[in-house]
Each structure stands twice: as structure tokens, then as C-alpha cells.
Chains A and B, each alone.
Chain A
Amino acid sequence: MTQAKTLQPEEARQKLKFYQKGTFTVGNRLVSEEERSVQASEDRSNALTSGHRACQGCGEALGARYAIDAAMRATDSDLIAVNATGCLEVFTTPYPETSWQLPWLHSLFGNAAAVATGVAAAMRVKKKKTRVIAQGGDGGTTDIGFQCLSGMFERNDDVLYICYDNEGYMNTGVQRSSATPPAARTATTPAVGPSPGNVFGTGKFLPKIAVAHNIPYVATATVADLHDLERKVVKAMSIHGARYIQINVPCPLGWGAASCDTIKLARLAVESGLYPIFEAEHGRVTQARKIRKQVPVREYLILQKRFAHLFRDGVDDPRVARLQAICDAHIAEYGLLGEDNEV
């Protein structure tokens, strides 16, 4: 395996900030060597290497690759990953092939956090410095894996848990999870009847629950800002104890969106206020990523077939306004508008 140099959180921070202006974005290739962000390095570990079977435009594959590569760099590749059952597990390891270039263990759907606790305990007892990451989708995290996750948090076990949140059970054919947004059509919340799609007033935002455990570090992230994602992973790996990162990863299949719109959707989810991006340490929110220019949630919804029933016959359903109210509440709660105080 390629050994890359270990990065400190500050080093992983993006040196230049590129704002997306509705054009094809500029990237690393246009800046000098020193200013390039690390992911462009040829030394990256490619922990989740090519050849896997994710769908075209899969946000989870993208998020996982950046997250695990950042963690590999931060730990000098001394890292073990535990994976919950789900898309990420299935598309990376059809026996006897594997896309993982780090030690990787899949046990069950609901126990990734507990299995990771066991791996971390083994490392401690064997006096090894090897770090441990557990990862799963939103179903494996917010629903079936919730008890094990809360236990791992409460014990402050030395595990970084990463949830790739695509807002539903995509591996089993797009069913509702407790992370599915209101009004979204899934196979178990079909777009039929007087209240089509997922009901309002349900679901949970796990990052807040994680914060309530007073663990050392909680963050949300998005595949629309990979440098921010990398920085958060690197920061998480610089801390010991229970840590949680939830990454918003659009699912073209489950959301009924074009494969080429994955990053765009992820960005609109943030810029509309629907998906607040923040960090918290020891039970307190320490930083929220500001929205440069708030976009109406309608722009985000209309690109996805799972919300198509909100725009039938060219008329906006009143529930679009209810979703907008949710965005506005997030903006108020996390102070998402105003000056960006990020470095």
C-alpha cells in the first residue's frame, strides 16, 4: 500500500476556496502545486479503489472514498474499517472481490458500532495504535443500528462512526428510513392518496442526538464540499473517543435524479438550509457552515422524482412551503446566514 504523509487537521484544510457559480467549476488543476488540496495527490491511498459496483453518480461511493482516504492519511494507513450491511458493503465486496485496500470487516446490519468497539478494545489490549472507523448508511445508523451506536457513544469508545446518509433504504429498493425527509416518495411511502409520500412530523436528525451524548466530536458534511469533509475526518482522527460524522450523499436511483446531478443536489441541500452543515464538540455546536446565498428549497426538490408529486400539473403543492419552513427553521437554529467566519 502507498504510504502518504500524516496530515494534521490544519494541513487538510482547503487552501483556496472555490465558490460554485453555476458553471463548470475550476479545480486544483488551475492552482499552483503548493496550493493544491491533498486529495489531488497521487499518493492517496485509494482505500476504496475502482472497480466496485456502485451506481453511476453514487454519492455514497464518493463520500466513502474521500472520507476513508482522509482517515488513511491522518493515521498513516494504520486503520481498520467496520461496515454495516448496506449498499456500501454490497457494492464493494461481491465475493471473492473487494474494493477495500484496508482491513475491513462486515458483520451485520445493526451492529457496526458495537463491532468497532470490539476492534478498538482489541487494539487497546494489544497496545496497538491502530485506529477504528465504523461506517453505514442511514438505515443501519439511525434505525437498526441506533442502539449499538448510542451505546458506543455513551461509553466514549475510541471509534469514528461515519454515516452516509442517502435518506432511505436504497440497498433493499428505496424504502423509508427515519432519515427520509417529509413528502419524499419511497417504496413504503408511495406518492398516492391524499397525502402522497413520507409524512411530516416524523423522522430524526441523528447528529443532534449524537451531540446530546456529549461525545468529543460530531460533524455533518456533504459531498458537495469534499475539502470540508476531508478536514472534518482528519480532525476527527486527531481526537480520541467516540466521534460521529454524517455525510449527505445523494442517491440518483433512490431520489430519482440524474447521475450528473449528485454534487448539484448535495450543494442545493446545503444552500437551501435543508441539510445544516456544522461541527460540535463535547455537546456544543462550535461551528456552522454559512450559506452564501440561500436558494429556495423548490430548486432542490424539483430535480428529484421522489418529490415529483409536489409539482403536479405545474402547481406547487402546499407542502413545498412546509419544506421551506423546515429549511428556514434550520437556518435560524444554526445561524446559517451571515458572514462566513471559516478560514
Chain B
Amino acid sequence: MLKQIEGSQAMAQAIALCRPEVICAYPITPQTHIVEGVGALVKTGDLENCEFINVESEFAALSVAIGASAAGARAYTATASQGLLFMAEAVYNAAGLGLPIVMTLGNRAIGAPINIWNDHSDAMAMRDAGWIQLFAETNQEAVDLHILAFRLAEELSMPVMVCVDGFILTHAVERVDIPDQAQVDAFLPPYDPVQVLDPEHPASIGAMVGPEAFTEVRFLAHYKQQQALRLIPAFSGELAKAFGRASGGVLRTYRTEDAETVVVAMGSVCGTIKDVVDEMRDEGAKIGVVSLVSYRPFPVEELRRILAPAKNVVVVEKSIAVGVGGPLADNIDGALRNLDGRPKLHSAIAGLGGRPITRASLRRLFHTAVENPWQGAHFLDLNEHAVGREIHRVRKIRRSGSTAENILRQLAAANPLPPG
């Protein structure tokens, strides 16, 4: 059913259609509207047979989901940013225990300095936790990925994180097609756990494992994630057939067939990049884009196949691994490892803490990558003047204070408020 609806509400309705049995809620911007939405559906009775639990922290939220899932219930929670870090120990634990919890991550920057706006630092911080991480490009895809996530999680006994850009998707009101209950029921069978807490068949779950078996356990977790590379396209295909639209897949390509320059990005920014690609195509540039949906597992072979013919690969990502550069660029570099005549790789960090990524800046970036390539990570739209002044100041003054406040002070001085 087509609706003009806020992204969070659309996701809440999709999650409810998946018949979750235990939902744990703890507020953190920008995911809050999602759990509020599902909570209201439980309260009105529209979502039956579901326990909605207001917990006291994100650590508890995921811990409650762990208990519920281990006891055989379909469990869901949502978080963002600091919340994901606060539950970090449980994030790893849920994956290690093989519990098919689905969690929405309303992607948001991590402090300090505290910042509520969108980037992908939170998802990157947990990229190695053993969860499948899927990135939505639009709210339609966010809806579809949640339904796919439950199927995938329960098929593999592995938790899935659906990453949606905070505000850009969560708070955007747009047209979304919400499937009906019968369609979702046909796609998503009831949860049938591989191991469950059951007094009739007592088992100990979560025992200690020493060096004699830990490597094998970890290898199998890696192996199991690789299975998702096959299952995600298969389930996406089924979903496309049932819902009449293409969503998901491990990645999607746009105008990459003869492209000499291929841009790789994740999430909502892919929409802006496609517009820029269209403009540049009109001007004769051979450019295309890969929208990466599955960041974990990382589709190495697929990326290798698509990127190998290109001359230049530009990775645009909303995160910075401080001290190294762009984590997505590093992973793409790994995918191209030992490839003969491999394309040049250009890493760009963009949109940190919610900074808008404009078409004009992207055009400049893509031109520069081909004509005047840079080394290392390029920070899109960096205020070099402000950064230069701060570096100089810190060198001169020992007690130089907070970098964040100093930059804000500089900006205020450069753009004074009008008098009165």
C-alpha cells in the first residue's frame, strides 16, 4: 500500500508486519521514532503477541533481546551512535551466541564532540562484531531490508543490523509502499531456532571455550557470513517477486557498464551520487556508481568483478578510521588486492557529523580524482583555513583548550551575527 509517510514510521510498520515477539526500546536520536512507532502498535493491539519492554539502557536493550532470542522469541531493538557503543559488549555476544536478533541502526556520528547528525562512524565501530550489516539507500529499501533481515537472520542464526541514515532517512517523509501482512507472512516463516532454552531439553548455552576450539568457532562464524553473500541475492529476488520491486542484493550498479570511473558508496548518499553521474554522463564522462548494500559480509568477488575494468575507483564514505583513513576504502583496496592492472583507488571522507554532501562538491571530487588525484584520504569540503589556524595555534600555545570549541569560535569570528 502506497503511503506518504515518515521513514521511521514506515520502518515501524514493516517491523510490526514481521511479527516480532519481544521489542526492547531505549531512546536515542535519531532512531527513537521507530521504537515509538512499534510501541504504539503494540499498545493499540494492532501488533498482537508482542512484549514491548522499556529498558534502562542500550546495554540492557540488547541483553533483553539476547535472552528473548535464546528462549525462542523473535526479538528486535533499535539504536544509534553512543547507544551502539554502550551495548558493544552485547553486540559481539549476540553474534557469538548465534542469535538472530534484528536491530535498526539510525546511523549517527560518535562523540566527542557530541553530534546527533548522520554519518557512518557507529556502524563502522561494530563492523567486526559478527553481525550482518545492510545499508539502505531509500526509505523504501529500509522497509524491504527489515523484512529481509528477519528472514536472513533466522536462516543463518546470525544477527542483522539494518543501517539507515539518521534524519536523512529516519525523519524524511516520502512515498513508501508498505506490503500487506499476507505478503510478509508468505515471505517470512515463523522463527524456528537451532538451539533454544527449553526445560524439556536442557542445554547450557554460552559455555567457556579455550584455545583448542576458539579458532574453529571463529572460522565458522566467518564461513557462515560468507553464506549470506549467496542468501542475500536469493532472498532479495524472492522479495522482488513478491513485492514487485527490486530492493537489497549485496550491491547495485548504476551506469557502470562502460564506466572508466566507478564511485562506491553506501546509504542515502548514493541517490545524490546517481544525480551527479547522470549530469556527468550527459557531458560525456564515462562514470557509474556502485551502491553497496551489504557491508558485512563484504562482497569481495562481486566488487572485484565490477571494479576490475575501471581506471579509477572513487570511494565516498561517511566515516574516518582516525590514524588510517577511510575504512570502506581500505576494504575496497583489499577486494582489489593482487589484481593485475587494477584501477587507481581514491578515498574521500564526506558528510561527517551531518555535513551536507552536495552535487557540486561531488562533481569537483570526481573530476579531481581523474585529473589531479590526491594521496591518502581526502576530506570533502574541509575548511582548510580553519584547520590551518588551529594547527598553528596549538603549536604556539600549550594550554590551547578544546579543538571543537576553538573551531566554533573561529567560525563565529568569521561569520559574526548581525548587530541587534
Residue ranges of A at the interface with B (Cβ–Cβ < 8 Å): 1, 77-80, 82-83, 89-90, 92-96, 98, 100-108, 110-111, 114-126, 130, 147-148, 150-151, 154-155
Do A117 and B53 touch (CB < 8 A)? yes
- Chain A residues lying within 8 Å of B68, measured Cβ to Cβ, are 118-119, 121-122
A-B contact pairs, 24 of them (CB 8 A): A80-B71, A90-B208, A103-B203, A107-B67, A108-B93, A111-B90, A114-B55, A115-B64, A118-B24, A118-B63, A118-B67, A121-B67, A121-B68, A125-B21, A125-B22, A125-B51, A125-B73, A126-B21, A126-B73, A147-B56, A148-B57, A148-B63, A151-B56, A154-B56
Binary interface profile of B, 63-100, with partner A (CB < 8 Å = 1, else 0)? 11111111111010000000000000110010001000
CA distance A77 to B204 in the complex (A): 15
Chain A's nearest CB lies how many Å from the CB of B232?
27
Given contacts A118-B75, A119-B68, contact A103 B213 (CB under 8 A): no
Do B64 and A118 touch (CB < 8 A)? yes
Apart from A80-B197, A114-B64, what are 5 other A-B pairs with CB-CB below 8 Å?
A: A95-B208, A98-B204, A107-B63, A115-B67, A125-B21
Q: Which of A92, A94, A103, A118 contacts B202 (CB 8 A)?
A: A103
* Residue B199 interfacial (CB < 8 Å): yes
CA distance A217 to B405 in the complex (A): 51
- Chain B residues lying within 8 Å of A103, measured Cβ to Cβ, are 197-199, 201-205
Do B57 and A147 touch (CB < 8 A)? yes
Chain B's nearest CB lies how many Å from the CB of A26?
35
- Chain B residues lying within 8 Å of A80, measured Cβ to Cβ, are 71, 197, 199
Residue ranges of B at the interface with A (Cβ–Cβ < 8 Å): 21-22, 24, 49-51, 53-57, 59-60, 63-73, 75, 89-90, 93, 97, 197-199, 201-210, 213
Do A96 and B207 touch (CB < 8 A)? yes
- Per DSSP, chain A at the interface is mixed
Do B207 and A119 touch (CB < 8 A)? no
- Chain B residues lying within 8 Å of A147, measured Cβ to Cβ, are 56-57, 59-60
CA distance A125 to B210 in the complex (A): 36
- Chain B residues lying within 8 Å of A95, measured Cβ to Cβ, are 207-210, 213
Residue of B nearest to A1 (CB): B202
CA distance A93 to B206 in the complex (A): 9
Chain B's nearest CB lies how many Å from the CB of A152?
8
Chain A's nearest CB lies how many Å from the CB of B255?
46
Chain B's nearest CB lies how many Å from the CB of A149?
10
- Chain B residues lying within 8 Å of A78, measured Cβ to Cβ, are 199
The 4 closest A-B pairs by CB, nearest first: A118-B67, A106-B206, A151-B56, A122-B71
Do A107 and B206 touch (CB < 8 A)? yes
Do B90 and A107 touch (CB < 8 A)? yes
Do A111 and B63 touch (CB < 8 A)? yes
Do B71 and A155 touch (CB < 8 A)? no
- Chain B residues lying within 8 Å of A154, measured Cβ to Cβ, are 56
CA distance A121 to B25 in the complex (A): 14
Given contacts A95-B207, A125-B21, contact A115 B63 (CB under 8 A): yes
Chain B's nearest CB lies how many Å from the CB of A11?
22
Do B65 and A118 touch (CB < 8 A)? yes
Do B60 and A111 touch (CB < 8 A)? yes
Do A79 and B55 touch (CB < 8 A)? no
Q: Which of B68, B90, B209 is the most central at the interface, judged by chain A CB atoms within 10 Å of its CB?
A: B68
Residue of A nearest to B199 (CB): A78
Do B21 and A151 touch (CB < 8 A)? no
Do B21 and A114 touch (CB < 8 A)? no
CA distance A289 to B133 in the complex (A): 55
- Chain A residues lying within 8 Å of B71, measured Cβ to Cβ, are 80, 118-119, 122-123, 126
- Chain B residues lying within 8 Å of A119, measured Cβ to Cβ, are 67-68, 70-71, 197
- Chain A residues lying within 8 Å of B207, measured Cβ to Cβ, are 93-96, 98, 106
CA distance A1 to B207 in the complex (A): 21
Do A148 and B56 touch (CB < 8 A)? yes
Residue of A nearest to B20 (CB): A125
CA distance A119 to B65 in the complex (A): 9
CA distance A310 to B53 in the complex (A): 49
Do B73 and A121 touch (CB < 8 A)? yes
- Chain A residues lying within 8 Å of B54, measured Cβ to Cβ, are 155
Chain A's nearest CB lies how many Å from the CB of B154?
15
Given contacts A110-B59, A151-B60, contact A104 B204 (CB under 8 A): yes
Do B67 and A77 touch (CB < 8 A)? no
Do A122 and B67 touch (CB < 8 A)? yes
Do A101 and B202 touch (CB < 8 A)? yes
- Chain B residues lying within 8 Å of A79, measured Cβ to Cβ, are 199
Chain A's nearest CB lies how many Å from the CB of B392?
44
- Chain B residues lying within 8 Å of A130, measured Cβ to Cβ, are 199
CA distance A95 to B49 in the complex (A): 36
Given contacts A93-B208, A101-B202, A103-B199, contact A114 B63 (CB under 8 A): yes
- Chain A residues lying within 8 Å of B60, measured Cβ to Cβ, are 111, 114, 117, 147-148, 151
CA distance A150 to B55 in the complex (A): 10
CA distance A286 to B59 in the complex (A): 34
- Chain A residues lying within 8 Å of B21, measured Cβ to Cβ, are 122, 125-126
Do B89 and A104 touch (CB < 8 A)? no
CA distance A103 to B221 in the complex (A): 24
Q: Which of B57, B60, B69, B209 is the most central at the interface, judged by chain A CB atoms within 10 Å of its CB?
A: B60
Residue of B nearest to A105 (CB): B205
Residue of B nearest to A115 (CB): B67
Chain A's nearest CB lies how many Å from the CB of B209?
5
Chain B's nearest CB lies how many Å from the CB of A183?
33
Q: Which of B67, B89, B93, B203 is the most central at the interface, judged by chain A CB atoms within 10 Å of its CB?
A: B67
CA distance A1 to B198 in the complex (A): 13
Residue of A nearest to B205 (CB): A105
CA distance A108 to B90 in the complex (A): 7
- Chain B residues lying within 8 Å of A118, measured Cβ to Cβ, are 22, 24, 53, 63-71, 73, 75
Q: Which of A93, A102, A115 contacts B66 (CB 8 A)?
A: A115
Chain A's nearest CB lies how many Å from the CB of B308?
43
Residue of B nearest to A109 (CB): B89
Do B72 and A126 touch (CB < 8 A)? yes
Do A106 and B63 touch (CB < 8 A)? no
- Chain B residues lying within 8 Å of A126, measured Cβ to Cβ, are 21, 71-73
Do B199 and A124 touch (CB < 8 A)? no
Q: Which of B59, B207, B209 is the most central at the interface, judged by chain A CB atoms within 10 Å of its CB?
A: B207
CA distance A80 to B201 in the complex (A): 11
CA distance A107 to B90 in the complex (A): 8
Do B206 and A148 touch (CB < 8 A)? no
Do B59 and A100 touch (CB < 8 A)? no
Q: Which of B59, B64, B199, B208 contacts A121 (CB 8 A)?
A: B64
Q: Which of A78, A90, A96, A106 is the most central at the interface, judged by chain B CB atoms within 10 Å of its CB?
A: A106
Do A121 and B22 touch (CB < 8 A)? yes
Q: Which of B51, B69, B93, B213 is the most central at the interface, judged by chain A CB atoms within 10 Å of its CB?
A: B51
CA distance A121 to B69 in the complex (A): 10
CA distance A286 to B208 in the complex (A): 41
